[in-house]
Amino acid sequence: MSKVTDFPTSAKLLHWLSALLIICMLFLGVSMIQSLAPWHDSALRLHQSVGVLVLILVCIRLINRLLIKVPALPTDLSRWQRLAAKGSQVLLYLLMVALPISGWLMQNAAGLPVSFFGIFQLPLFVEASLRSYGLFRELHALLAWSLLAVIVLHISAALHHGVIRKDSVLPSMLFKFKSRK
Ligand code: HEM
């Protein structure tokens, strides 16, 4: 059976699109809590809708991941490096799902529905209560900072493979553009 050396285009597109959106959302979230300027309400509406888009993309990504063949890790990696790679991947997926859901529940606990770009509203899952609002808000912040920490580790590992080890891991997630002669 032939081995795959690259992620399929569907996986690359979903990876880079969700990475871009999540990094913008981390910056947007932090800037929102530091300002009550007139743009705060529009920023919050955008933050919620893009957060729901991230949740949808991550669900599509998980289904896609189950259907595609992915390249194997280099054979010379140690046991702990393999464990760290798998563990951080699982953690990334868990955080990418849990973070938007915690934001959704936080808004419900504040008595507010969550709208997706004004196209549809998500169902209300929890009753309005100040106590649950506080809890979900703290959870949302904790998950956001944990996701940032795992993303920093993920980027460091990718650069270690690409710049120091110069192996096949980083190129397997990059787009290859053929130069015209
Ligand atoms: C990829 C998904 C998301 C990311 C990366 C993200 C990130 C963040 C960050 C970093 C903060 C600031 C946390 C702090 O230090 O206190 C924040 C705040 C907040 N997020 Fe999210 N978030 C996401 C999804 C959502 C969703 C889906 C909702 C609601 C449906 C939401 C609602 C909120 C609210 C209400 C705040 C507090 C804003 C304020 O009080 O000014 N977030 N988010």
Confidence of residue 2 (pLDDT cuts 50, 70, 90): low
Distance 180 CA to ligand 1 centre (A): 44
How confident is the model at residue 76, as a pLDDT?
Answer: 95
For ligand 1, residues with CB inside 6 Å are 22, 25-26, 29-30, 32-33, 44, 47-48, 51-52, 54, 99-100, 103-104, 106-107, 114, 140-141, 144
**What is the residue extent of each domain of the chain?**
9-173
How confident is the model at residue 80, as a pLDDT?
Answer: 95
pLDDT 10s digits, 46-76:
999 999 999 999 999 999 999 999 999 999 9
Q: Which fold has domain 9-173?
A: Fumarate Reductase Cytochrome B subunit (1.20.950)
Distance 29 CA to ligand 1 centre (A): 5
Q: What is the pTM of this model?
A: 0.93
The whole-angstrom distance between residue 62's C-alpha and the CA centroid of its chain comes to 11
pLDDT 10s digits, 142-172:
999 999 999 999 999 999 999 999 999 999 9
Distance 98 CA to ligand 1 centre (A): 12
pLDDT 10s digits, 15-34:
999 999 999 999 999 999 88
The whole-angstrom distance between residue 6's C-alpha and the CA centroid of its chain comes to 21
Q: Tell me the C-alpha distance between 59 and 171, whole Å.
A: 24
Q: Measuring CA to CA, how many Å separate 66 from each of 52, 88, 105?
A: 22, 17, 28
Q: Where are the alpha helices (DSSP H) in the chain?
A: 9-33, 40-67, 79-109, 130-159
**CA-wise closest residue to 22 among 98, 83, 74, 79:** 98
- Are residues 19 and 54 in contact, defined by beta-carbon separation less than 8 angstroms? no
Say if residue 180's pLDDT is above 70.
no
Q: Whose CA is nearest to atom 31 of ligand 1?
A: 103
Q: Tell me the C-alpha distance between 67 and 63, whole Å.
A: 7
- Are residues 26 and 148 in contact, defined by beta-carbon separation less than 8 angstroms? yes
Secondary structure class of 45 (helix, strand, coil): helix
